[in-house]
Amino acid sequence: MLEKTLESIWFSTKQAKVYIAALQAGVAPVSSIARIGGINRITCYNTLKELIVMGYAQETRKDKVKHFSVIDPANLVAHYEEKYRTMEEQLPAFMGLMHWASNKPQISLYEWIDQLKTLFIQIIDEAKHMPKDTPFLTFLGTQEIDTEFQKWLINDFAPVRLQEKKKTKSIITNDNDHYLSYTKDNHEYIVVDQPTFAMRNEIVIYGNSKVAILLYSKDEMSGIVIDSQSLHDSLTQIFGLVWQAYQMK
């Protein structure tokens, strides 16, 4: 019954089972949580990482051993009440989309750090809709990345990203080649060492028709997703042109 309740608010079956087990365990190592829930240890660990990304769990260390805990149900309710209010406030904008012609681009806005985190997970989820050998493509600059968000990327998002084996090809600015080191097994990239290419943010070309513009500075923290076949295809061609030109050097 409790698992079904969590599933009704967008938990997966695994996430619901692990959340309940972790709630019973308190602050505990993954082995204890897995035992209480009757869950495979590796599956439990990966699911806990997903819950951390979602903002529903935390990781700490005790005697050099990783321990996990989940937010209490009252905070979970408060979290979804806030999401409901946000959705309610944006309802007129969503209703307006219903009247667009089918050939018009669809535009979605993700504001501030929590929504940007959600967008990152959604981008990774698009891998299952992409052809097998088609990578994510990114133009990447991170000179102005917010320190809190950067820590989340490295500590929480990277383990989830590494679970998805689809490759990312990146064209990056000269002073950002270190930035991809934490997911280097999933990345192939070239460095454009040009003063005129001083990107401050990131553009991701993904899915079958989507482009995400990601703004990383503390003042602008947000993401814009444009679902447009023509824009997706045009940026894919530009990416390919730059990639080929720099590989020939």
More confident residue, 72 or 245: 72
Q: Is the dihedral of CA 105, 106, 112, 114 positive or negative?
A: negative
Residue 182: pLDDT band with limits 50, 70, 90: low
Residues linked to residue 172 through DSSP beta bridges, in sequence order: 140, 191
| pLDDT, average across residues 41-52 | 94
The most confident of 104-108, 119-123, 244-248, by mean pLDDT: 119-123
**Over the chain, what is the mean pLDDT?**
82
| pTM beyond 0.85 | no
> Each residue of 57-114: pLDDT tens digit?
999 998 889 999 999 888 888 877 887 788 777 776 766 665 555 567 788 888 888 8
User: Is the pLDDT assigned to residue 22 strictly greater than 70?
Assistant: yes
The pLDDT of residue 142 is 63
Whether residue 30 has pLDDT greater than 90: yes
Mention the CATH class of domain 100-247.
alpha beta
At 125-165, the pLDDT tens digits run 888 878 888 888 988 876 667 778 778 877 887 777 777 77
Q: What is the pLDDT of residue 177?
A: 46
Q: pLDDT value at position 39? A: 93
- Are residues 213 and 223 in contact, defined by beta-carbon separation less than 8 angstroms? yes
Determine what percent of the chain is predicted with pLDDT higher than 70: 88
Convert the chain into a string of H (helix), E (strand) and C (coil).
CHHHHHHCCCCCHHHHHHHHHHHHHCCECHHHHHHHHCCCHHHHHHHHHHHHHHCCEEEEEECCEEEEEECCHHHHHHHHHHHHHHHHHHHHHHHHHCCCCCCCCEEEEEEHHHHHHHHHHHHHHHHHHCCCCCCEEEEECCCCCCHHHHHHHHHHHHHHHHHCCCCEEEEEEHHHHHHHHHHHHHEEEEEECCCCCCCCCEEEEECCCEEEEEECCCCCCEEEEEECHHHHHHHHHHHHHHHHHHHCC
Where does the pLDDT of residue 33 fall: very low under 50, low under 70, confident under 90, or very high at 90 and above? very high
Residues of the chain with CATH 3.30.870.10: 100-247
The CATH 1.10.10.10 portion of the chain extends over 2-74
Residue that wins the pLDDT comparison between 216 and 37: 37
pLDDT score at 171: 82
Task: Look at domain 2-74 and name its CATH class.
Answer: mainly alpha
Residues 6+ apart with CB under 8 A from 55: 71, 79, 114, 117
The pLDDT of residue 184: 65
Least confident piece of the model among 22-26, 69-73, 121-125, 204-208? 121-125
Q: Between the ranges 23-32, 167-176, 177-186, where is the mean pLDDT highest?
A: 23-32
